Amino acid sequence: MDPLGARSRFVDIQTLLTWEQMQPEPELPKQEEHDDSMVSQQSFSSPFPFRPDINRKIVLFVGDVALLNCTAVVNTSNESLSDKNPVSDSVLHHAGPELRDELLKLKGCRTGEVKVTKGFNLAAWFIIHTVGPKYKTKYRTAAESSLFSCYRNILQLALEQSMASVGLCVVSTVKRGYPLEEATHIAFRTVRRFLENHGEGVETVVFAVSEDEEPVYKKLLPLYFPRSEEEERASLPLVPGDIGNSEGEPIIPERQIRITEKPGNQEEEYEQDSLDQDMAQVGQHAFSRMEGDVDKQRRLILQGNLSDAAMQKQHQRNYNRWLGRARAEDLSDIAALKALYQTGVDLCGRTVVVVIGRNIPVSIIDLEKALLYFIHVMDHVAVKEYVMVYFHTLTGEHNHLDTDFLKNLYDIVDAKFKKNLRAFYFVHPTFRAKLSTWFFTSFSVSGLKEKVHYLDSLRQLLTCMRPEEIDIPPFVLDYDARVNGPYHQSQSHTL
């Protein structure tokens, strides 16, 4: 407690100006500074229209988030919740040693997810801990999805726990390498969409920034929270083209993590497929339906008393949970193995997915993350017919996936994975691999055995697809040339 009459170190958010009360900066771009004909003749409105009711909930605070007197403040950290950054250091310092003890009990936090603790010696009642993604240009979409998940999960938790006010720090720390301006776009659009859709339960969102971060926040706030119709019109040309879906989440599947891609002849169908996927999710979220007792449903499954429809619904919920994790997780280490990637199309126009057995170090990788990566890559591929090519070339004992893992993968994936898989080409199989696959497809899974085709040479594979449509690793080409002789492109049309 502060001594009687002493000024409190904490800042009451009720004393701060809301974004609505802050006057626009004089240097704000005016409408006439842009192409007048483009702006005045636009036939579309801003995706972020002037909303005074939302602006009254937004506060921009230059200072320490740990000093805010609100329901909850946000701490940004690493996966072990032990990061050393200005925000985390301040939160730990002001909250006291009890917070450190509590963090040890949480046993870490995954990228994009949140954990909550009491505020201890802070003025805030709660501390919401989250882990922002590490940014790499090559995996930009994965980082965008993870950062979206951070902000979305913070707000979702606040809503579920009836937290009236939240102090948001800048989740993307300098150590994680996320460009500040790009990260700020994601933060603003996520908060804006959340307040539009679920804002009745949240009274105040405070963006707590440093002096270095303030100019970027002041520059971009009018784009997402215009304070007048004039500011809305002036900001419209500056709004990015990519603003995510209705929740602010990145939605372009072909920009998600992939290692190698060659253009097929169906790229023009991606946009429609993406729309179909989005429409298919309408009514699927837990908030848009009444769900029964999950524990009761699990007991019924174990007892064999749950109907087929209910079991399918339960399976879909389970898959959606895995998919949500896959979109939020930092999977760059699995992607770097180059063991799974989408390439071109076969002679029937079906998408080809390649698996490289030798690139799977089973004994040292996190198999759960490998499963998440498979779901992440395959979710948008499996919405239409596809084929898989598995190169067993030069694999060793340490590359063989356990049958229990494969069975688990088969049980988790969505029905579309099994329905739309048209062929599984097993290239350069050994006798042992054939035997293991026969047992697996005969006794562990159903409906897969007839789709497996064993191919001893690339010549056989290239009767099904053109050479330019599949990215074959050099070591596979060298091995096949040694064992089966050099391949000539004309041979694929004479076999």
Give the pLDDT confidence of 181-204 residue by residue, as tens digits.
999 999 999 999 999 998 888 999
Least confident of 64-73, 291-300, 310-319: 291-300
Whole-number average pLDDT of the chain? 82
Query: How much is the average pLDDT of 62-90?
Result: 95
3-state secondary structure the chain: CCCCCCCCCCEEHHHCCCCCCCCCCCCCCCHHHCCHHHHHCCCCCCCCCCCHHHHCCEEEEECCHHHEECCEEEEEECCCCCCCCHHHHHHHHHHCHHHHHHHHHHCCCCCCCEEEEECCCCCCCEEEEEECCCCCHHHHHHHHHHHHHHHHHHHHHHHHCCCCEEEECCCCCHHHCCCHHHHHHHHHHHHHHHHHHHHHHCCEEEEEECCCCHHHHHHHHHHHCCCCHHHHHHHHHHCCCCCCCCCCCCCCHHHCCCCCCCCCCCHHHHHHHHHHHHHHCCCCCHHHCCCCCHHHHHHHHHHCCCCHHHHHHHHHHHHHHHHHHHHHCCCHHHHCCCCEEEEEECCCCCEEEEEEHHHCCCCCCCHHHHHHHHHHHHCCCCCCCEEEEEECCCCCHHHCCCHHHHHHHHHHCCHHHHHHEEEEEEECCCHHHHHHHHHHHHHHCCCCHHHEEEECCHHHHCCCCCHHHCCCCHHHHHHHHHHHCCCCHHHHHCC
The 10s digit of each residue's pLDDT in 120-165 is: 999 999 999 999 999 988 788 889 999 999 999 999 999 999 999 9
Q: Band the pLDDT of 308: cuts 50, 70, 90.
A: low
Pairwise CA distance, residues 470 & 263, whole Å: 10
Place of tokens 């304070």: 227
**Confidence grade of residue 492 (pLDDT, cut at 50, 70, 90):** very low
**Does the pLDDT value for residue 292 go beyond 90?**
no
**Is 440 in contact with 403 (CB distance < 8 Å)?**
yes
447 in Cβ contact with 454 (< 8 Å): no
Determine what percent of the chain is predicted with pLDDT higher than 90.
52
Domains of the chain by start residue, with CATH: 11-31+45-238 (3.40.220.10), 259-271+332-493 (3.40.525.10)
pLDDT for the residue numbered 104 = 92
140 and 160 Cβ atoms separated by less than 8 Å:
no
230, 231, 236, 242 alpha-carbon torsion, rounded to 10°: -150
pLDDT at 257 over 70: no
pLDDT at 1 over 60: no
For residue 269, give both structure tokens.
Answer: 């169908």
Token pair belonging to 41: 């003749």
More confident position, 45 or 337: 337
Q: Identify the pLDDT of residue 362.
A: 85
Q: How confident is the model at residue 488 (pLDDT cuts 50, 70, 90)?
A: low
The least confident of 93-107, 389-403, 440-454 is: 440-454
Alpha-carbon dihedral 44, 22, 156, 12, rounded to 10 degrees: -170
Read off the pTM: 0.52
* pLDDT band for position 304 (cuts 50, 70, 90): low
The predicted structure's pLDDT at residue 282 = 44
Integer CA distances (angstroms), 2 to 6, 8, 123, 166, in order: 6, 6, 12, 23
Kindly state the average pLDDT of the residues 231-243. Answer: 87
Which conformational region is residue 39 in: left (phi greater than 0), alpha (psi within -120 to 50 degrees), or beta?
Answer: alpha
Q: Which residue has the higher pLDDT, 297 or 124?
A: 124
Q: Which amino acid is at 293?
A: D
User: Mean pLDDT, to the nearest integer, of 56-82?
Assistant: 96
- Write down the pLDDT at residue 228: 94
pLDDT value for 269: 44
Any idea which of 13-22, 176-185, 238-247 has the lowest mean pLDDT?
Answer: 238-247
Q: What is residue 260's predicted lDDT score, i.e. its pLDDT?
A: 41
What's the confidence (pLDDT) of residue 113?
95
C-alpha 299/C-alpha 301 separation (Å) is: 5
Q: Is 287 a residue whose pLDDT tops 90?
A: no
How far is the first Cα of the chain from the last one, in angstroms, to the nearest whole number? 85
Q: On the CB side of 245, how many CA atoms lie within 13 Å of its CA?
A: 16
**Nearest residue to 331 via CA among 141, 55, 97, 58:** 141
Average pLDDT over residues 110-125: 95
Displacement of CA 380 from its chain's centroid (Å): 13
Tell me the pLDDT tens digit for each residue of 446-468.
778 899 999 999 999 999 999 99
